[in-house]
């Protein structure tokens, strides 16, 4: 099921077909703040009122032209200005393929520098999301250089990749802020753990490295047992709550987000907005079979309404 949805995430033909159906869009709206920056800011402010921070994701990836990459950069800068004006407790998460990684890595790096410089002037931080393993080396290299020059960028390590322990240690040594995730892409044989149990075990191992030695790491998961393991680990090592944060995705495990914030942990939610939500939504479907049931239920409800 997971592989099937991750395969569909990259099929333009299926995308064009699926986008014709309202039920598909309605189901996606559970995971996406809305089409506009206004929608996203509204969600950030709601979260902030509950002492939950945000990180905005202007949806888009694998941009095909330099013009589209520059348009995305403009929006990312506008989003930062808006967060600043609203005094929102929120930063930015961006994907390098949105700002030109697959067109020209140098052009992409220049775009990232522009975005990070703008954030620095506003006293803010930029997180570079991690995409599929074809992007890992280029992403880490660009982040390392930008971090060395500006200091206010961090990135993501995926626990399902065999290489991640080595990458995590390298990033920790340089002081680069890391968000730890399990990994959301379809990977070829030989680069990633196949079994969930192995990914989970690697997650816990890397999490301990980051909590003990990392710079303000982000433990990004909705997995209750891993969150419990993190809480027990920090307690046993006397690691202060202020020195790390939990992160979750908008629309997933809101109960847990609130509980952690109420207990005094730093919590940040990842808030996607914009029109290009198809691949993001397909990855959310791939993660959890129950979401597919939800999608099918919406299809039948729509059919029933049409008949009524």
Ligand X SMILES: Cc1cc2nc3c(=O)[nH]c(=O)nc-3n(C[C@H](O)[C@H](O)[C@H](O)COP(=O)(O)OP(=O)(O)OC[C@H]3O[C@@H](n4cnc5c(N)ncnc54)[C@H](O)[C@@H]3O)c2cc1C
Residues annotated as catalytic (active site), given as ranges: 129, 179
Pair 234, 245: CB distance under 8 Å: no
In the list 9, 76, 116, 249, the residue contacting ligand X (rule: CB under 6 A) is 249
In the list 120, 208, 222, 258, the residue contacting ligand X (rule: CB under 6 A) is 222
Site membership for ligand X, residue 248 (CB under 6 A): yes
In the list 223, 229, 254, 299, the residue contacting ligand X (rule: CB under 6 A) is 223
Q: 107: buried, middle or exposed (CB in 10 Å: 19+, 13-18, 0-12)?
A: middle
Where are the strands (E) in the chain, listed by range?
53-58, 90-94, 126-128, 153-158, 178-181, 218-220, 245-249, 267-273
Instruction: Kindly report the backbone phi and psi dihedral angles of residue 246, in degrees, each rounded to the nearest multiple of 5, phi listed first.
Output: -95, 145
CA distance 1 to 21: 21
Instruction: Kindly report the backbone phi and psi dihedral angles of residue 94, in degrees, each rounded to the nearest multiple of 5, phi listed first.
Output: -135, 155
Candidates 99-107, 187-195, 248-256, 299-307; binding stretch for ligand X (CB under 6 A): 248-256
Site membership for ligand X, residue 59 (CB under 6 A): no
Beta carbon of residue 194, minimum distance to ligand X (angstroms, whole number): 14
Pair 266, 273: CB distance under 8 Å: no
Contact set for ligand X, span 180-209 (CB under 6 A): 181-185
Beta carbon of residue 292, minimum distance to ligand X (angstroms, whole number): 10
Beta carbon of residue 132, minimum distance to ligand X (angstroms, whole number): 8
Q: Return residues touching ligand X (CB under 6 A).
A: 129-130, 156, 158, 179, 181-185, 220-223, 247-249, 252-253, 270, 284, 287-288, 291
């Amino acid at each position: 099921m997971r592989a099937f949805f991750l395969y569909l995430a990259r099929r333009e033909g299926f995308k064009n077909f699926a986008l014709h159906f309202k039920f598909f869009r309605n189901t996606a709206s559970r995971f996406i703040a809305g089409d506009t920056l206004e929608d996203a800011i509204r969600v950030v402010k709601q979260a902030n009122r509950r002492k939950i921070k945000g990180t905005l994701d202007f949806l888009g990836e694998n941009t095909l032209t330099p013009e589209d990459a520059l348009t995305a950069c403009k929006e990312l800068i506008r989003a930062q200005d808006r967060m600043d004006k609203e005094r929102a407790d929120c930063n930015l998460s961006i994907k390098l393929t949105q700002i030109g990684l697959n067109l020209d890595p140098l052009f992409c790096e220049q775009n990232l520098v522009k975005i990070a410089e703008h954030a620095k002037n506003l006293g803010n931080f930029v997180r570079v999301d991690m995409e599929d393993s074809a992007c890992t080396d280029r992403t880490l290299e660009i982040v390392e250089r930008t971090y060395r020059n500006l200091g206010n960028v961090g990135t993501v390590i995926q626990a399902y990749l065999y290489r991640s322990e080595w990458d995590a240690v390298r990033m920790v040594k340089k002081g680069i802020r890391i968000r730890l995730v399990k990994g959301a892409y379809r990977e070829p044989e030989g680069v990633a753990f196949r079994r969930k149990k192995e990914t989970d075990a690697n997650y816990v191992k890397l999490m301990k490295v980051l909590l003990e030695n990392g710079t303000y790491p982000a433990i990004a998961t909705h997995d209750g047992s891993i969150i419990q393991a993190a809480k027990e680990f920090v307690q046993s090592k006397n690691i202060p709550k202020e020195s790390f944060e939990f992160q979750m995705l908008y629309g997933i495990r809101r109960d847990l987000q609130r509980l952690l914030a109420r207990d005094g942990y730093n919590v940040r939610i990842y808030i996607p907005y914009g029109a290009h939500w198809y691949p993001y939504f397909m990855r959310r479907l791939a993660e959890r079979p129950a979401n597919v049931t939800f999608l099918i239920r919406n299809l039948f409800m729509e059919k029933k309404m049409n008949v009524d």
